[in-house]
Structure 1
Amino acid sequence: MSVDELPIGRRVAQWRIRRRMTQQMLADRLGRSKSWVDKVERGVRALDRFSVIRDLAEVLRVDPVVLLGRTTPPSIAAGTDGVDAVRAALARYDFTPHDPDRRPAPPVAELSRRAAHAWLTYQHAHYSHLLRMLPGLLADAQHAHAAQPECATSLLVQVYRVTSSVLVKLGEADLAWLAADRAVTAAGGDRQFAAVAAIPLAQALRALGRDRLAMAAALAAAPPISCDQGTPDESSVLGTLLLQAALAAAGCGDTRTAHELTDRAAEIADLVGEGDDDQWTCFGPTAVELARVVAAVDLGDAADAITRHGIAVRRAGWRCLPAEHRAAYLIDVARAYLQVGDLAAAGRALVDADRTAPAETRSRPAARTVIAAVARGGPATAGVAHLASTLGVA
């Protein structure tokens, strides 16, 4: 058996030994128990979160791809070709907004339409196309904000936000954090803009495995309004921040806080209802129920997650959610089935996710992790085998 064909736990053990670490030493550096490391290496505990694999890789001083097995396949590379251009755009600063020789900034109304198109592209999971759009949109939004900050602040925050969101999808969490931090800076002292900017900040911190920081950031930025006081936009943003905080709490293993925050979000969602999404949050009663499922997965309560999943996808709001949201959720559902050893159901969830939004399964490192675990866990269905072969994890 080649190194690439070994289960991920065996590869972790090989690299640990190569780095002359005991299981206890590795556990201490990860902030985990020796028992956790032992279960990972024996394959008893599945590694189904990319953030955990990234932390392991950092301690073992290898690329995460080495632990996952094989090199990055063309299908993933094609989905991330534009990341360097986005990185370059984020590295630019607009020091000469009033230079008479410079072309005027595009009208804010035109840029708002382009930003809305970027969000729709994201929600349809057309990530490669979005990466091609973002460098020009970032430059123009920065120019407009430098020239007319009173008119273009909301625009710039949203452009940074969609940039951060797609970078999280593609496993570029550090760069996503930078984009989110730029959104917070652009928001300045405006409480509502800052709350919007905190959404990608919490997402990026969660992707980095900094769950406690993510929870603190989301709660600190949450608008100080009661459930029935805010406008629909304010309520949607507040509810979304509460869900981000709840998922971060679940990532910390804090069951009580995760449930309390999700319950608060549910109260707001009942007032907001489905379909009002001017802030591109997808917030509503269905989104809250999906978040309960994902939180249960992260808390290790797969049975509860699976039960809730069966109810959530029968809601009328399920089909109204963007393809990106549904496919990402189905990948998390596959993690739940993987936790209980139901490889067939996990495979069905992955195939459904691929049908819904192929870029979610084929461009995301997190999805590749789950697909590899399902494909290598036992005899794979034709759909899973095809996915695994396409991604180079068969």
Structure 2
Amino acid sequence: MSTEPAIGYASTLVTYEMDSGDPTPVGRRLADWRIRRSLSVADLATRAGVPEQLIEDLETGQEWIDQGRVLSSLAAGLQLDPAELTGQPYMPCGPGHSAVHSLGWFARRYLARILSAGGVGGEADEVRLAELADGVRAADEAGELVSAAQMVPCLLELIGPPRPEGAGRRAAVLRALAHVAVSRLLRRLGYRDLAWNLLSYAFPPPEARPAVLGEEVWLLLDMGQAKLAVARTARGEADVPAEVLLPLAVAHAVLGQEAESEHLLASAQEKAISARQRSQVASAGAFAAAEGAAYHDVLARAAGAAGLPAGDRSALLVLTASAQARLGQYGAAVEDLTEAESLAPLHVRLDPLARELVSVLPALAQEHAEALGGIAARLDMK
């Protein structure tokens, strides 16, 4: 162990803490940023409103992050965006990941063109625009991120700069939905600033506003801004749009407002008319339950989400893997994580919780070390 003072902190305490275990990806960045901010564990615990023991356990690999509220609190205590703790966007690992990662460049180029256009665009090919927007959304949901990424450059060209009012209501709806599809993909990659800027140019007509607002709420949640997400939807409507109910329910759960979260989930369940919609409600309920550390409830609700497409199901399986690990069911946790990767490999590679689990599970499920090692290698964590 080094006896040199840690950078930004006039003692060997922090160096000792970092050397005393093998932290998870979030735990490692947490310790690093705490040192940069010249904070002790007690200082950060006070700022973030979390127990000191939690911080110590995160930094030594005894604990992991599976709650948005905890991640947001720690990031706020360090005056950071949560992405600084999760490490997003992740460096490309493999040709598929590289292809998807390039979306950040295309989005920046698109936004730069809008800012330099000095005017508005003309008419769009509505048929092709609808085809590509639907294709990006469907490929993302199916876990085929490379296919989705390959369609985005053409889709951005078709969206073009903002159109004048009255240029065509259907075209305006299609452009707004296309913005949502690309923004969701960028959010998944960790390019949240680009996703937010892209949504700001959606200019949705009334028919498309619920879809845009729903994506904004999911994006604000990923940014650690649950309060702002709730405030953004408090516009006096007597009936919250269906597209907004589920992210809003999760936002209330992040804020510890379980009763309001359950009320919104019940409303969404009443409005669900298909097996897929009911599965989406069940999945959102599982994520809301995780915020309250109700891990048995996570598993019970996830059981009702069999109708999810592969991409969304993979995210839910990563969540249930964490819940299984919390309950000491380590073999089941590895099975869920393995199934998630088989359904949507790149979705798992881009999921911060999956990386947390790959860090902690080997010590908890030693008989599955080979399978976990393979996942870790594919996540470029070995």
TM-score, scaled relative to structure 2: 0.80
User: 1:154 Cα deviation (Å)?
Assistant: 0.6
Name the residue aligned to 1:216. 231
Q: Distance in 2 between matches of 1:242 and 1:57?
A: 26
> Which amino acid is 1:134 matched to?
V
Contact 2:330 2:361 in 1 (8 A): yes
Is residue 260 from structure 1 mapped to residue 277 from structure 2 by the alignment?
Answer: no
Per-residue displacement from partner, 1:15-40 (whole Å, max 9, x unpaired)? Answer: 53464311232124434344543443
**CA shift digits 1:196-241 (9 cap, x unpaired):** 210110010011111121223245486x44xxxxxxxxxxx92331
2:15 equivalent in structure 1? none
- Residue type at the aligned position of 2:274: G
| CA–CA distance in structure 1, aligned partners of residues 82 and 222 of structure 2 | 17
CA 1:62–1:201: 2 relative to 1, 3 Å: closer
User: How much has 1:354 moved relative to structure 2?
Assistant: 1.1
Structure 1 residues 382 and 241: CA distance shift in structure 2, 3 A: same
Superposition deviation, residue 388 in structure 1:
1.0
Q: Which amino acid aligns with 2:295?
A: A
- The counterpart of 2:45, out of the listed 27, 33, 45, is 27
Structure 1 segment 205-284 matched on structure 2, within 5 A: 205-220=220-235, 224-225=238-239, 238-269=241-272, 272-274=273-275, 284=277
Q: Give the whole-Å Cα distance in 2 for the aligned partners of 1:54 and 1:392.
A: 25
Q: What is the one-letter code of the residue matched to 1:91?
A: A
Residue 174 of structure 1 is matched in structure 2 by 193
Describe how 1:341-360 pairs up with structure 2 within 5 A: 341-360=328-347
Q: 1:323 aligns with which of 310, 315, 322?
A: 310
- What letter corresponds to residue 228 of structure 2 in structure 1? L
Q: Is the 8 A contact 2:318 2:340 kept in 1?
A: yes
AA in 1 matched with 2:301: R
User: Alpha-carbon deviation of 1:384?
Assistant: 2.3
Is the aligned partner of 1:372 residue 2:359?
yes
Using the TM superposition, name which of 45-54 and 364-373 deviates more. Answer: 45-54
Corresponding letter in the other structure for 1:382:
E
- CA distance in 2: counterparts of 1:203 and 1:54, whole angstroms: 14
- The aligned amino acid for 1:359 is L
Q: Which amino acid aligns with 2:106?
A: A
Which residue is 2:132 aligned to? Answer: 114
Q: Distance in 1 between the 2:300 and 2:180 partners?
A: 33
Distance 1:5 1:39 in 2: 9
The answer for the alignment partner of 1:154 in structure 2 is 173
Aligned to 2:22: 6
Structure 1 CA distance for aligned equivalents of residues 184 and 104 of structure 2: 13
Give the Cα separation in 2 of the matches to 1:60 and 1:241: 28
Q: 1:127 aligns with which of 142, 145, 148?
A: 145
Other structure's SS at 1:74 match = coil
State the partner residue of 2:13: none
Residue in 2 aligned with 1:307? 300
For the residues of structure 2 that align with 1:171 and 1:335, how far apart are their CA atoms?
21
Q: Is the 8 A contact 2:310 2:343 kept in 1?
A: yes
Structure 2 vs 1, CA of residues 171 and 140 (structure 1 numbering), >3 Å: closer, same or farther?
same
Distance across 2 between alignment mates of 1:113 and 1:66: 37
TM-score (norm 1): 0.78
Counterpart residue type for residue 377 of structure 2:
S
Secondary structure (helix, strand or coil) at the match of 2:160 reads helix
Would you say the 8 A contact 2:196–2:216 is kept in 1? Answer: yes
Question: Which residue number in structure 1 is paired with residue 102 of structure 2?
Answer: 81
Alpha-carbon distance, 1:115 to partner: 1.5
Partner in structure 1 of residue 210 of structure 2: 195
Deviates more, 1:150-159 or 1:9-18: 9-18
Matched to 2:280, the amino acid is A
Flag structure 2 segments of 5+ consecutive residues without an equivalent.
2-17
Q: How many angstroms does 1:248 deviate by? A: 0.8
AA at the equivalent of 1:182? Y
Given that residues 243 and 261 in structure 1 are in contact (C-alpha distance below 8 angstroms), is that contact kept between their aligned partners in structure 2? Answer: yes
Tell me the distance in 2 between the aligned counterparts of 1:65 and 1:202: 20
The answer to whether the 8 A contact 1:246-1:259 is kept is: yes
CA distance in 1, matches of 2:53, 2:349: 33
